[in-house]
Chains A and B, each alone.
Chain A
Amino acid sequence: MVEVIEVRSVSKTYQQPKRFPGVLGALKSLVTPEYTEVKAVADVSFGIRKGEAVGYLGPNGAGKSTMIKMMTGILVPTSGSVSVLGCTPHERRMEIARRIGVVFGQRSQLWWDLPVADSFELHRRIYDIPAARYADNLRRFAELLELEPFLDRAVRQLSLGQRMRAEIVMALLHDPQILFLDEPTIGLDVVAKDAVRRFLAEVNRERGITIILTTHDLQDIETICPRLIMVDHARLVFDGELGRLRSALGSARRLTLEFTTDPGPLPLTTAVLTADDGLLKHYRIERDDVSLVDVLTEVGPGREIKDIALEEPNIEEVIRTFYQRRNTAVPA
């Protein structure tokens, strides 16, 4: 397999003017402006192979957008090197542009007052897409995302979900090898989110298009991306499969036991009691080698259990645990 993206010890630093509060502060920045250096990306390296789908994840201000912008040729790294499809993006911006698709979730590239079809037609001209291939792609993608009903409506009359679907289809019309998506599901309702996710997963699987997406919504990752890259405070903190992250952390499972009669406080060694509602007791099983049988054995016979619920950790919890542990281990 070929690496389509190679990022080697990349850093990006911004200069930002300092602002001071109050009248005196404003006067101060008027006379002697000061700048602070903001490190958005610090020494990040990774490689992405053809056909992969990668989720790029991190809290606000962790440098996700900056990384996408460096990979798409918008920004130049302060140090390190980025290589996309064998080129340095900002040096061969035009050439790279023809071979990638980019969707920025909150910044529409559609013409607000004109029908969607007009924006598509303009896209065809800008990317020099052969007529037959354009028609074929449009038909297929439009069908998958059900665009036909609103292709001839002005963009300003569309819902956010419809707009995002159109946006994604447009980014794919020129058969890009890599598709970059910055927060593609932000602000969408559940149905629209689901449609977008299934579509992206399918495009990745069927067409072998490499997908890199940043997101806040972990469901996106679970549906689309087998691989996860996590950044925090500008640094790369995890790169691997979601499953590996989960097992590496051994995230806690949640166990709820419902008794027929209240056994009183019931501390256990195999699980931690987190909440006690009398008949209902909530536990956290922190160790991976503890099984449900172990816990029930410890509870012992003689206490009649009416119902048992065991929940596997969901992705949000996995990631929250991850960041919490990091922050306690390495003070920022």
Chain B
Amino acid sequence: MRQLRIALRLVLMQIRSQMEYRGAFWIDRIAQIITYSSSLAVIWLLVDRFTELAGWRWPDLLLLYSFHVLGYATGAAISFTQMRDLEERVRLGTFDSLLTKPISPWLYIVFSGFNIGYAGHILLGIALMVWALWIAPVDWSLLTIAYFIASLLSAAMVTAAFLTMIGLTALIWVRSNHLYSIFFGFWELTRYPLDIFPVGIQGVMLTIVPLAFTSSVPVAVVLGKQVPLLGDWAPALALLAGPFFVLLAVLCWREAVNRYQGAGG
């Protein structure tokens, strides 16, 4: 309870800090919406010319894209910038200061850096999702709705867990940011159906870089499509991936904080 109240307070302080620069804040959001729209436009250009991509048509791809944006933004809001900046915190020693406070350093870092900048992604994601759900061929029932929401949460959890595990390597190796270039390499692929990639990449995206669970696996399930490699296990695994990787991230975080050596000197 106390932790929760502090977390809420940190988030409010962070929002107030960001609002000190609200002009730039909204310009930045608009720029992000434009950029995400341009990536979607590329997909539109593809299906406009070739009608489908491995059996996925425009409504399917639109749903996939909106799911990818929403799931990612929700997870990244509580992980990406915070964990990317962990490297800097270690280098400057502000992580050291955190360790002298009677509070979990994870809680402090994540909520004091809670990124409301993802508001742009979320607005766009919701708008696209409403559009997609309007035109996508899904048989909606209470069960599919529940499954859809749960898998979206699971997607956010996988994203946050994975981004956190990348960032925490800074506690051991001091530098971690280059690993994000691997993440974003794979992350871009999650705008497309998993089917189109070579088996090797599919395997990687279902295991060590589990980003397939943040978009194409759950969306394929909802659309009633086959998921390569997973087959009938896909619906269950899409839901379990979130909790599993969060647990893994928690264990890794503990281990990293214990092994933390500081930046030296």
Contact = CB atoms under 8 A, between A and B. Distances in A.
A and B: direct contact (Cβ < 8 Å)?
A: yes
A139 interface: no
15 contacts: A65-B265, A69-B96, A73-B99, A74-B99, A74-B100, A75-B260, A104-B93, A104-B97, A111-B13, A111-B17, A113-B16, A114-B17, A127-B101, A154-B20, A180-B100
Interface in B1-51: 2, 5-6, 9-10, 13, 16-17, 20
Interface of B: 2, 5-6, 9-10, 13, 16-17, 20, 92-94, 96-97, 99-103, 260-262, 264-265
B6 A126 contact: yes
A113 B22 CA distance: 13
A113 B16 CA distance: 8
Nearest to B112: A111
Nearest to B21: A113
B195 to A, nearest CB: 37
Contacts of A40: 264-265
A38 interface: yes
A74 B17 contact: no
A107 B93 contact: yes
Interface string A76-102: 000000000000000001110110101
A310 interface: no
A128 B2 contact: yes
Nearest to B2: A128
Given A107-B93, A114-B17, A93 B99 contact: yes
B9 A122 contact: yes
Contacts of A102: 97, 100
A107 B92 contact: yes
Contacts of A14: 261, 264
A176 B154 CA distance: 43
A114 B262 contact: no
A114 B261 contact: no
Contacts of B10: 122
Nearest to A61: B265
B97 A75 contact: no
Given A14-B264, A114-B16, A125 B96 contact: no
The 6 A-B pairs of least Cβ separation, nearest first, read A113-B17, A97-B102, A102-B100, A74-B99, A113-B20, A98-B102
Given A114-B17, A126-B6, A69 B262 contact: yes
A87 to B, nearest CB: 13
Interface in A46-89: 61, 65-66, 69, 72-75
A118 interface: yes
A276 B261 CA distance: 54
A109 interface: yes
Contacts of B103: 94, 126
B13 A118 contact: yes
Nearest to B100: A102
A328 interface: no
Contacts of A107: 92-94, 96-97
Given A118-B16, A125-B9, 11 more contacts: A61-B265, A66-B262, A69-B262, A72-B100, A73-B100, A94-B102, A100-B100, A107-B96, A109-B97, A114-B16, A126-B101
A154 B5 CA distance: 23
Contacts of A35: none
A74 B16 contact: no
A20 interface: no
A128 B102 CA distance: 10
B30 to A, nearest CB: 22
Contacts of B100: 72-74, 97, 100, 102, 180
